[in-house]
Amino acid sequence: MPTTLITGGTVVTSTGRSEADVLVDGETIVAVLAPGSVLLGNDLSTAVDAVIDATGKYVIPGGVDAHTHMELPFGGTAASDTFETGTRAAAWGGTTTIIDFAVQTYGQKVMDGLAAWHQKAEGNCAIDYGFHQIIGDVNDDSLQAMRGLLDEGVSSFKLFMAYPGVFYSDDAQILKAMQVSADTGLMTMMHAENGPAIDVLAQQLVEAGKTDPYYHGMARAWQMEEEATHRAIMLSNLTGAPLYVVHVSAKQAVEQLAWARDNGQNVFGETCPQYLYLSLEEQLGASSDEWGAFEGAKWVCSTPLRSKAEGHQHHMWQSLRTNDIQMVSTDHCPFCMKGQKDLGLGDFRKIPNGIGSVEHRMDLLYQGVVDGQISLERWVEITSTTPARMFGLYGRKGVIQPGADADIVIYDPEGHTSIGVGKTHHMNMDYSAWEGFEIDGHVDTVMSRGKVVVDDNQYVGAKGDGRYLKRGLSQYLI
């Protein structure tokens, strides 16, 4: 197996940084050494097959994006990134692992849903991938099948308190699924918004002629998120199920999570770049010659963007610092404006929900380091180490240490990244939700299990490089 030495860089992990060389043998990191180490009389740089000079750069574990939706059928269409295009875009941005959501639809068997996801992904991915399981139909058969998920390497399942008639579970179904979660250790992941109440508000808005994309966020008010988050916490408290709330956007929902954690509950939360950087006010102000106010559809996602005046974004950065929120995923669910988002012209309820960010998460969060919001180590922790540990991948992923998979990103703090279509954009979308964002940093080199897949602004990997990851239980629970 080829050997590679990464020299001269600053190795950054969640616990610190040091000047060190990293030795890779085949797919694995075998040593982290003092710079210029001589091993058994050999100058290592002459003994290896390849040397990568990382002088002046950060050497970090590859990003782990624990929330993506490649090819998800949703809102009358399907997410526009395939596993091939989406994982390649992820690699471009320094993410070397995704955990995507396999779907059990209403009436379908859980294991059939999982098998369908394997079929979509196998042989197509640029980077390693795992699956969570969406349970879209909680019934006796699914509850039984869930007990077999861990054997399949799936240690988490997601329920929806939103989307009645699609993925929605009522409280009785949630309670039963959480009992299985408490019994097995599978993590319950929750989309926490009160869907039935939201649907009433949305209908009232449309009937009042308020059909623009902005009203999507008005219908999905923060009270809907706070209430559902609280309900999920109490059901988790009652059953003893570990709970992970996805795409937290409202500061009041964070307060619920912090309260539960302070009470000693195994409750966790993720946020996404859109809830750190984007706002409802910007969506309201969005307008273009092509789309008019429908321009705002570019940022229709659920949970929705929140008001800057109400301080949600500020609170979210603060929560990342204080660990009230533990990690950042993307909820990557891309749709094109033409032929997809435009299904909702004249009725915001028909706009497919989702934003594409899998390519930009590492850069966007690094900008938080530059802006003084988080430390370098915390950047690595919330984008790589914690996601790996939360979902049973730590040791292989999320860290630079001997024995770990050689998923390594060389990040140049002196580099620059201009985000946008025609600049850095490899996601299969006809627009970027991040158009115009300028990042003081750059992903230079990306290694996936020892193979360089991105180098000097070139993609040099191949479809099928990525392998399925069987995951264990969350390492926050054992």
Alpha carbon 342 to its chain centroid, in Å, reads 25
Q: How far apart are CA 97 and CA 388, in angstroms?
A: 9
Alpha carbon 160 to its chain centroid, in Å, reads 17
Q: How far apart are CA 407 and CA 189, in angstroms?
A: 26
305 near ligand DUC, judged by CB under 6 A: no
The nearest distance, CB 183 to ligand DUC, in angstroms, is 26
Position closest to ligand DUC via CB: 301
Among 102, 187, 198, 301, binds ligand DUC (CB under 6 A): 301
Check: CB of residue 353 under 8 Å from CB of residue 340.
Answer: no
Q: How far apart are CA 395 and CA 451, in angstroms?
A: 19
- Mark residues 337-366: x for contact with ligand DUC by CB under 6 A, - for none: ----------------xx------------
Which partner from the list Zn ion, ligand DUC, none does 361 bind, CB cut-off 5 to 8 Å by kind?
none
Q: How far apart are CA 352 and CA 152, in angstroms?
A: 30
Q: How far apart are CA 185 and CA 90, in angstroms?
A: 29
Residues of span 383-422 touching ligand DUC by CB under 6 A: none
Of 8 and 136, CB closest to ligand DUC: 136
Position closest to Zn ion via CB: 191
The nearest distance, CB 100 to ligand DUC, in angstroms, is 12
Q: Which residues pair with 99 in a beta bridge?
A: 130
Of 355 and 409, CB closest to ligand DUC: 355
Q: Which residues pair with 53 in a beta bridge?
A: 7
Q: How far apart are CA 39 and CA 336, in angstroms?
A: 53
302 near ligand DUC, judged by CB under 6 A: yes
For 264, the token pair is 């000693």
The residue count for binding Zn ion (CB under 5 A) is 2
Helices and strands, counts by H and E, the chain: 15, 25
Of 268 and 411, CB closest to Zn ion: 268
Of 21 and 100, CB closest to ligand DUC: 100
Of 61 and 334, CB closest to ligand DUC: 334
69 near ligand DUC, judged by CB under 6 A: yes
Give the single-character DSSP code of 419.
B
- Dihedral (CA of 398, 400, 402, 404) sign: positive
Of 176 and 191, CB closest to Zn ion: 191
Give the single-character DSSP code of 468.
B
Which ranges of 222-279 does DSSP label H, i.e. alpha helix?
222-239, 251-262, 273-277
Amino acid in the structure at residue 316: M
Among 57, 88, 176, 191, binds Zn ion (CB under 5 A): 191
Among 128, 137, 331, 444, binds Zn ion (CB under 5 A): 331
- Mark residues 172-191: x for contact with ligand DUC by CB under 6 A, - for none: -------------------x
Residues of span 187-226 touching ligand DUC by CB under 6 A: 191
The H or E element containing residue 195 is helix 195-207
Of 216 and 230, CB closest to ligand DUC: 216
Contact set with Zn ion (CB under 5 A): 191, 331
Q: Give the binding site for ligand DUC (CB under 6 A).
A: 69, 74, 191, 301-302, 331, 333, 353-354
